[in-house]
Amino acid sequence: MKIGATTIALAGWAIDPRQPVASQEQRLEAMRKLITGYGLGAVEMTLDLGILFPQIFPTDFYRRVASLQHELDFTCSVHLPFTWIDLSSLNEPIRLASLESIRSAIDLCRPIQVESFVLHLWGGTTHQIASVLQDPVQQQILLSALIIQAGRSLEQICAWLEPRRLCVETLEAPAFDLALPLVEKYDVSVCLDVGHLVWQQVDAIDFLERHSGRIGEIHLHDARRESVGEWERVVDHLPLGEGQIDYQALLHRLREIDFSGVVILELNDRTALEKSLAQIGYSPG
């Protein structure tokens, strides 16, 4: 098991198109800091940036990442594009365009030794439509159609990647059980996002025990359920120790089963990263 983090924690999401060189250097420096400054063993790259800003992150940038990986000897995982993408879309042009974005992202990072590719099988529109359909018959009709579309997309992606390197992520919704038949059919792996399971009121260790043979990557961040008047909401991507997740027990169990994948701290800023690292015994070097 290797502990790592996403570059978002140090470099953020914002890109200044007027400063392509500075934007590249910022990402590379974030990778170097995660490995040499914090003593981590893995980095997760966000490939949305390469698709949304191709003029800033062309193929040559990923060759530079490969050189840095060779220099510092770290494990790399890749989060495939998920913004404005829906691989289960019933709008076929949207599904095909989403597939093209995935294919382009895979091609971009071919110079890099990538251990796992994280994939969102459902898009935001899927969540929205499913949430407003109250009639069980309508829900079943919609979900059946979505599964067919998602399966078509997954089959195509598995032609581009070794299936076991592809990790379908547990999302906030719908329940992972919807994706499980496709995961098994195409023999792909799972990215267990600990915080997202709080949305579904699923215990992370229980999920780990049920699916340990397929889990290829862990996304680790804290989360908690909150009451807002008559409603409940979930706040996730919190620093470890600020939510309800027993992350120490999870890490202990991962060591017990000799988990060989990466555990990526998926946090949005430096303060959250450093608080989380302190909770698990890491500190800047």
The residue to which tokens 């996304």 are assigned: 219
The answer to whether 85 and 124 are in contact (CB under 8 A) is no
Has residue 285 been placed in a domain?
no
Q: Is residue 70 part of a domain?
A: yes
Three-state SS for 143?
helix
Tokens found for residue 2: 């290797």
Q: Where does the pLDDT of residue 256 fall: very low under 50, low under 70, confident under 90, or very high at 90 and above?
A: very high
CB 81, CB 101: distance < 8 Å: yes
Residue 20 placed within a domain: yes
**Residue 46 has which token pair?**
């966000």
Question: Structure pTM?
Answer: 0.92
Whether 201 maps to a domain, the answer reads: yes
Total domains in the chain come to 1
Tens digit of pLDDT for each residue in 86-137? Answer: 999 999 999 999 999 999 999 999 999 999 999 999 987 776 776 666 677 7
Helices 20-32 and 59-72 pack at an angle, to 10 degrees, of 20
Which residues make Cβ contacts (< 8 Å) with residue 248, sequence separation at least 6? Answer: 280
Domain range for 268: 2-279
pLDDT in tens, 141-162: 778 888 999 999 999 999 999 9
Does residue 167 lie in a domain region? Answer: yes
pLDDT reading at 280 higher than 80: yes
Residue 113 belongs to a domain: yes
The neighbour count for residue 216, using CB atoms within 10 Å, is 23
Instruction: Please give the full DSSP string across 71-88, using - where no structure is assigned.
Output: HHT-EEEEE---TT--TT
pLDDT at 107: 96
Q: How confident is the model at residue 248 (pLDDT cuts 50, 70, 90)?
A: very high
CA distances from 228 to 197, 225, 232, 234, 243 (A): 20, 10, 6, 10, 16
Q: What is the DSSP letter of 269?
A: S
Mean residue pLDDT of the chain comes to 91
R_g of the chain, CA atoms, integer Å: 19
Q: Identify each DSSP E strand in the chain by its residue range.
A: 2-6, 42-46, 75-79, 114-119, 166-169, 189-193, 215-220, 222-228, 231-238, 262-265
pLDDT on residue 285: 56
CB atoms within 10 A of CB 55: 7
pLDDT of residue 283: 66
pLDDT category at 65 given cuts 50, 70, 90 is very high
What is the CATH number for 84?
A: 3.20.20.150
User: Residue 125: its pLDDT value, please?
Assistant: 76
- 75, pLDDT greater than 60: yes
Q: Which amino acid makes up residue 12?
A: G
Q: Is residue 172 part of a domain?
A: yes
Question: Which residues are CB-neighbours of 257 under 8 A, at least 6 positions away?
Answer: 208, 212
What pLDDT is stored for residue 133 in this prediction? 66
Q: Is residue 228 part of a domain?
A: yes
